[in-house]
Amino acid sequence: MRRLLVALLAACPAAFAQDGVDSRELIGQLGGRTALLQLHQNPRADGSVRLSGEYLILPTLQRRFLEGERSRQLGVTFLKEGNSPILYGRPATATLQGTWTEGAFKGARYAPGGQERERFEFSENFPDMRAYSAEVRCELDEGRYASSLHYAVTAGKLQQLDWRSRVAPSGHSCGVMQPVQQSFEGGLRFAVGRCRVTLRDLGEYVRVSAENCAELCGSQAYLEPVLVDRRGGCQLLRPHSR
């Protein structure tokens, strides 16, 4: 049962984020590449933490899944990497080994044979967006999921936000309209009740994501995170593993 939960957490990060599962995001460098790391935490009785999640290489959108643990002392962290969200019983494509303390995760990525491939350094501190200005309009459609996103921000202040989605064949939908801006470090955050929409600067993209929005959605509906490039183009955050 535990391994099934770990697999589900890794496979459905957007859905679990909307339900309020404890998770951390970090931005940084893997070798010479910018990467976004998302890890879900499952504390153990001995003080250690079971981890699952994924990282995404930007701008290629190469995606890898992770499973491992973080020790209680010194923050020693070991993560097995794979191409599938279900890692149990499958060989690792690599391992990430390092220390995660005071909001920073530093270490090295190793090949299955133990050779060091590249160093990495991630931080829980994201760039400030108080100077961010943009007006974005997107219509997105992939398989059974479709969404529309319109927002306008001037010098870090929200002017307008309307984000809707629909899932076929149920027709269940989500809708976030005219949220209230909240104080937030490392990005911009807007809220309607418990539902929160967050913008983060990832360098090549601004990512728009939602959490705790079930009350604004039908039972089968959700808001898939969107990546907005510097020209205002959009794509869903569901890249294929490469």
Last residue of some domain: 72, 104, 123?
123
Q: Same domain for 208 and 164?
A: yes
Asked, for residue 241, whether it belongs to a domain, the answer is: no
Q: Same domain for 119 and 138?
A: no
pLDDT value at 241 more than 90: no
Query: Beta partners for 147?
Result: 140, 165
pLDDT in tens, 187-205: 999 999 999 999 999 998 9
pLDDT at site 10: 40
Asked, for residue 129, whether it belongs to a domain, the answer is: no
Q: Same domain for 196 and 216?
A: yes
Asked, for residue 184, whether it belongs to a domain, the answer is: yes
pLDDT at site 172: 97
pLDDT value at 27 more than 90: yes
pLDDT value at 229 more than 70: yes
Q: Same domain for 44 and 145?
A: no
pLDDT in tens, 47-102: 899 999 999 998 788 999 999 999 988 899 999 999 888 777 788 899 999 999 99
Burial class (CB in 10 A: 0-12, 13-18, 19+), 85: buried
Residue 173, domain extent:
134-236
Distance CA 148, CA 224 (A): 11
Q: Same domain for 113 and 195?
A: no
Q: What is the pTM of this model?
A: 0.82
Strands 62-70 and 145-154 turn out to be unpaired
CATH of the domain at 48: 2.40.128
pLDDT value at 12 more than 50: no
Asked, for residue 21, whether it belongs to a domain, the answer is: yes
| Per-residue confidence band for 18, with pLDDT thresholds at 50, 70 and 90 | very low
| SS3 of residue 194 by DSSP | coil
pLDDT at site 2: 40
Asked, for residue 148, whether it belongs to a domain, the answer is: yes
Last residue of some domain: 75, 90, 123?
123
Last residue of some domain: 79, 95, 123?
123
Q: Same domain for 48 and 147?
A: no
Distance CA 167, CA 34 (A): 32
pLDDT value at 163 more than 80: yes
Q: What is the mean pLDDT of residues 170-176?
A: 96
Q: Helix, strand, coil % (nearest 5) of the chain?
A: 10, 55, 35
Q: Please give the mean pLDDT across all residues of the chain.
A: 89
